[in-house]
Structure 1
């Protein structure tokens, strides 16, 4: 027994040390700088921890003047970020959709209190009675995502798991069809964030104009502001050629999102710091089409109100009008402060939050800016990192301690011990979890294998009353482990 313990400890130690060379390596903001050097220096100073970031594009508006800068790398080949490098902007698109509502209201085409069904007759279900203002302010009582079939949810989960595009193939009919099945819930009238509402709004305004959403946005907002580099990708052919490439903070590359159905809410739009700087400057000046969308009209909580797509939040002495965005491999933020006449845009090509950087550039104190970062997705990623790192090893050690055991079961448990390590490596958010935990997990899995090896000779090949059932179960388990790791590999 003593000899087994010593062997197990030695194996665990050796594998743990070797695991240091294989542990997750965070992306890190590179030293390259383009554009305005003073702004680049200020932006770099606002990045409290460069680990987890790869590249950033920044715009700062002061006294009507727009300055832009690029920091770090646009992809893993080391090409620098330029002020005109395209990034996915995600839910920042919701402010564009809100501004379309304000613009079409000013033009007399629609009114904020118009019903969805009257604006878009395709919607005939219970959701037809919600108003356009409710859709843009997240007060329509609609879910975050449209309910779908079991197969649809399985595709969505698999795409998120594998780093693919979860919205591929979802068109305007997906949104309209779902809306006809949705009944607004009891939360109608209260602010509950939704991607369905702004998507319905964007397509409803487009239907009223007799064009597609992308065409309406381009004609009413992008062209008047000379936002030539802002596009909506509805297929891979629409992706900007020199775009930034997105990924996780732990260096895993992820596919870009593109689609039609959720485009007004943030699936498919790409823009640059230069373009969004123009938007911010014109909005501050009140000259942008639909600039009135920034007016706070409805209360979310004691600190935050919402207008047409734009949120207004107080951070100490600063009142910021803002929105952020998050896709699988990008983060974005746009913030305006009327009292100072300043605005900021920050775009990043990993899933590390950029909102605190933008707030610091606006002069918000460190304590307030740090607390503003969205936390739910971060903690989910952190939980996956810790759980998967140790789950396989603990499970294997528990398995090999059983009295009734066979080699087939031990083999499957051993495969999963290292499959879980692979999942932790690629899916975990190591920007908030110490990366040295991963070698400890590898040591734990190795210890389980070492204990299993000491029992191997004494174990039967298969110990089951129905051998084929056990074999089928184990084969399925091992196949699932292989597929899981393959799905998250580069």
Structure 2
């Protein structure tokens, strides 16, 4: 089964190979958006994984523009964390992965959850906001150096929602999906909230994985979307009409020669400046990249947990 543009579908199939039997792609440039899918229809929605952090980065930059928060606003001003070490961490530090927070709090027992994911494909997340805050209160802060933190972006997203007097799901809906007309972009808090077109991902051995749903996870990795919506978002990022577009601009060094904005990574490659983010869950891998100077963007979504980063970079450079 293929859908959308036949030429892009054939290119995607050749590029990804047999390891990715269910996938979709979008190419956006001056001629508009071209989308294609293999193994599923164009309406199918994928877990976009940590590209969700990029969306939260947009919401952060948008909240600054609205005057609701600043980079210096501490978490304890927005969430009931003022009595914990994490309460003093600023939103700016969270947005650039410089909070000193671990990827996950020790109280979440990440090793046990990772083993359960490997053995049984179970969702390692699933907490609600109250449970997330309990975990955050016990988190120890390390040195404020570049350190990728899922916990940090979970807290950032929920803090932004608090500043706006809503939930993260409501914030996403009101400030991203509705203004941009995204019809299949959402954050399911539980498996029963999945759309009928939601795909089930598989690991690299082809074993089905539980969906990664959960209220707490949403800002860091819980968004699902169809390829058409991702193409629309890409177009809005390229033409500057997306809310919080300043999130794309790098403000600090990260690692391996990269620079970082609000979640978004910028790298020089093949004489191009590429702004990008990837994502990975138990059964999905995703990549989204922009050549802002050339006005070209690419999204690759796969319902198999095998990397697609190199494929995304190659398609962007084509």
For the superposition of Structure 1 and Structure 2, which TM-score range results when normalised by the shorter chain?
A: over 0.9
1:91 aligned partner: 50
1:291 aligned partner: 245
2:132 aligned partner: 175
1:141, CA displacement in angstroms? 0.7
1:178, CA displacement in angstroms? 2.0
1:123, CA displacement in angstroms? 4.1
TM-score by length of 2: 0.95
> How do 1:22-421 residues align onto structure 2 when only pairs under 5 Å count?
32-47=1-16, 50-63=17-30, 65-71=32-38, 73=39, 81-148=40-107, 154=112, 157-168=115-126, 170-186=127-143, 188=144, 190-267=145-222, 269-301=223-255, 303-363=257-317
More helix per residue: 1 or 2? 1
User: How far apart, in 1, do the equivalents of 2:151 and 2:88 lie?
Assistant: 15
- Classify 1:286/1:250 alpha carbon distance in 2 versus 1 (closer, same or farther; 3 Å): same
1:160, CA displacement in angstroms? 3.9
TM-score by length of 1: 0.62
1:41, CA displacement in angstroms? 2.8
Q: Give the conservation status (yes or no) of the 8 Å contact 1:100–1:290.
A: yes
Q: Give the conservation status (yes or no) of the 8 Å contact 1:156–1:167.
A: no
Q: Give the conservation status (yes or no) of the 8 Å contact 1:155–1:166.
A: yes
More strand per residue: 1 or 2? 2
Q: Give the conservation status (yes or no) of the 8 Å contact 1:112–1:131.
A: yes
Q: Give the conservation status (yes or no) of the 8 Å contact 1:123–1:176.
A: no
User: How far apart, in 2, do the equivalents of 1:91 and 1:257 lie?
Assistant: 12
User: How far apart, in 2, do the equivalents of 1:248 and 1:69 lie?
Assistant: 22
1:184, CA displacement in angstroms? 1.6
User: How far apart, in 2, do the equivalents of 1:154 and 1:250 lie?
Assistant: 21
Tell me the matched-pair count: 318
- Classify 1:178/1:218 alpha carbon distance in 2 versus 1 (closer, same or farther; 3 Å): same
Q: Which runs of 4+ in 1 moved over 6 A?
A: none
Backbone CA RMSD of aligned residues = 1.7
1:51, CA displacement in angstroms? 2.5
Q: Give the conservation status (yes or no) of the 8 Å contact 1:229–1:272.
A: yes
- Classify 1:311/1:155 alpha carbon distance in 2 versus 1 (closer, same or farther; 3 Å): closer
User: How far apart, in 2, do the equivalents of 1:309 and 1:213 lie?
Assistant: 17
Q: Give the conservation status (yes or no) of the 8 Å contact 1:198–1:264.
A: yes
The 3-state SS of whatever aligns with 1:325 is strand
Q: Which has the higher contact order (CA 8 A, sep 6+)?
A: 2
State the Cα deviation string for residues 305-338 of structure 1 (Å, max 9, x = none): 1100111112231211111110001111110001
Q: Give the conservation status (yes or no) of the 8 Å contact 1:320–1:337.
A: yes
Moved more, 321-330 or 242-251: 242-251
The 3-state SS of whatever aligns with 2:180 is coil
User: How far apart, in 2, do the equivalents of 1:302 and 1:333 lie?
Assistant: 18
State the Cα deviation string for residues 34-67 of structure 1 (Å, max 9, x = none): 10122223323433xx132121111110116111
State the Cα deviation string for residues 204-246 of structure 1 (Å, max 9, x = none): 1111222111011110111101111011111111112022221
The 3-state SS of whatever aligns with 1:61 is strand
State the Cα deviation string for residues 147-201 of structure 1 (Å, max 9, x = none): 2166x85455324421111213x11122212222223212x0x211110111000
Runs of 5+ consecutive residues of structure 2 not aligned to the other structure: none
User: How far apart, in 2, do the equivalents of 1:229 and 1:241 lie?
Assistant: 11
- Classify 1:249/1:156 alpha carbon distance in 2 versus 1 (closer, same or farther; 3 Å): closer
- Classify 1:185/1:42 alpha carbon distance in 2 versus 1 (closer, same or farther; 3 Å): same
Q: Give the conservation status (yes or no) of the 8 Å contact 1:64–1:281.
A: no
